[in-house]
Structure 1
Amino acid sequence: MQELFAGMPWWVKWVAVPVIALLVFGGLIMSVVGFVIGLLFKLLVFVALVGGLVFLVRKFMASSDSRGEW
């Protein structure tokens, strides 16, 4: 690979090749990034729902325990 770019100007290696790679693999990169962001969002929603459920159950259990003392 080194000898392939040996006679080329600097802009071929640092500008043209990354631009071509983004054009060719841009859709794949964006779909992977979108999948990861979607997965993180779903994980965040899951954690929030489970945390809310635990909060509500503890609050309900605490209120029913205090009601039994009366």
Structure 2
Amino acid sequence: MREIFAGLPWWVKWIAVPVIALALFGGLIASVVGFLVGLLFKVLVFVALVGGLIYVVRKFTARSSSRSDW
């Protein structure tokens, strides 16, 4: 791979090739990044909901057990 880029100017390696790659695969890259961001958001919402559920259940079970102690 280095032999291919060895005789080319720096702007071909660092500007032209990435621009071509983004032009060809930009939609694919955007959809993958969008999927990963959506998945991360869903995981965070799931963790928050499960954490909230555990908090509420522990709070009510602690309150009901303290009432039964009286």
The 4+ residue runs of structure 1 with deviation greater than 2 A are 1-8
Structure-to-structure mapping, 1:1-70, within 5 angstroms: 1-70=1-70
Of 3-12 and 33-42, the range deviating more from structure 2: 3-12
CA RMSD of aligned residues (A): 1.2
Please give the TM-score of this superposition, normalised by the length of structure 1. Answer: 0.89
Please give the TM-score of this superposition, normalised by the length of structure 2. Answer: 0.89
Deviations 1:4-62, CA, capped at 9 Å, x for gaps:
33332221111101111011111111111111111111000000000001001101101
How many pairs were matched up?
Answer: 70
The AA in structure 1 aligned to 2:53 is: L
SS in 2 for 1:5: helix
Q: Which runs of 5+ in 1 are unaligned?
A: none
Percent identical pairs in the alignment equals 74
Richer in helix (by share): 2
SS in 2 for 1:3: helix
Q: By how many angstroms is 1:69 displaced?
A: 1.9
